[in-house]
Amino acid sequence: MTEQSIIFFDIDGTLLTHDKELPNSTKEAIFKLKEIGHEVAIATGRAPFMFEDLRKELEINTFVSYNGQYVVLRGEVLHTNPLNINALEKLTEAALQNSHPVLFMDHEDMKANVPEHDYIKESISTLKIDRFPTHDPSYYKGRDLYQMLLFCPEGEEEQYEMGFQEYDFVRWHPVSVDVMPKGGSKAKGIQKVVDKLGFSPERQFAFGDGLNDIKMLSSVPNSVAMGNAEEEVKAVAKYVTKSVEENGIYHGLQMVGLL
């Protein structure tokens, strides 16, 4: 009998292509892993509501979302790490003064603090999800938020990095930056899952391609960077597979001996 492993997959650029399509070979690989008896999970910067359809299609109910701030294990919430609300209010005020919109995000929805903005349309549209943020500048009040999106051109986030030590800022789009609790990461969310399930380090695997995957690929012992990943991401991974468009998931799983 094959010893059970747990495998975490990033979504954008890893499970999904640049056009947000799921390769047939990837879907086949995921179901083969589960048939063998392995645990399959998702680790993403996305909100839970942004990949609900994908979870249903792949029959995955364990996931690390919001870059580790909202973790679900087999359908039950395991860990949450909300944003500091006082710093959130101050950052929102500073962003307004700079004409930089923000997006408030909890586990169920996302609301913008401005009625509309080109940066929001430009970045959110690339995710190709079936909903678009609506306007509610007070959405942050009375609820836990796990991530904000700050919309500004590259380099302009530096002023916020210096002024708001409570947060980490990770760019995911030329005009948009993830704002998350300081020190929060996919790696920490993954650790919550593997601690709960008791997987030994040698039975832990992760696949990713983006800058927000660097901590994950640095900490998970059997890490695999996609062929389409940036060079600094490949540099921290134990293995490098083919690109997502070249059946990279299936190839990578064969490379590490899981298929």
Of 146-150, 170-174, 238-242, the one with minimum mean pLDDT is: 170-174
Question: Coil, strand, or helix at residue 237?
Answer: coil
The verdict on whether 12 is a catalytic residue reads: no
- Give the global pTM: 0.92
CB atoms within 10 A of CB 14: 29
Q: What is the per-residue pLDDT for 2?
A: 62
Annotated active-site residue in 10, 106, 209, 213: 10
Query: How many residues appear in the chain?
Result: 259
Left, alpha or beta for 110 (phi > 0: left; psi -120 to 50: alpha)? beta
Q: Is the pLDDT of residue 1 over 70?
A: no
Q: Is the pLDDT of residue 256 over 70?
A: yes
Q: Is the pLDDT of residue 190 over 60?
A: yes
Query: Which token pair is 79?
Result: 């860990």
In the block, tokens 């901590």 appear at 215
Architecture of domain 85-181: 2-Layer Sandwich (3.30)
Mean pLDDT of the region 184-193: 95
Cα distance between residue 75 and residue 204, in whole Å: 20
Domain(s) labelled CATH 3.40.50.1000 in the chain stretch across: 6-80+184-255
Write the DSSP symbol of residue 146. -
Per-residue confidence at 197, pLDDT binned at 50, 70, 90? very high
Percentage of the chain modeled with pLDDT above 90:
95
Domain(s) labelled CATH 3.30.1240.10 in the chain stretch across: 85-181
Mean pLDDT of the region 206-213: 94
Write the DSSP symbol of residue 170. E
The answer to whether domain 6-80+184-255 has CATH 3.40.50.1000 is yes
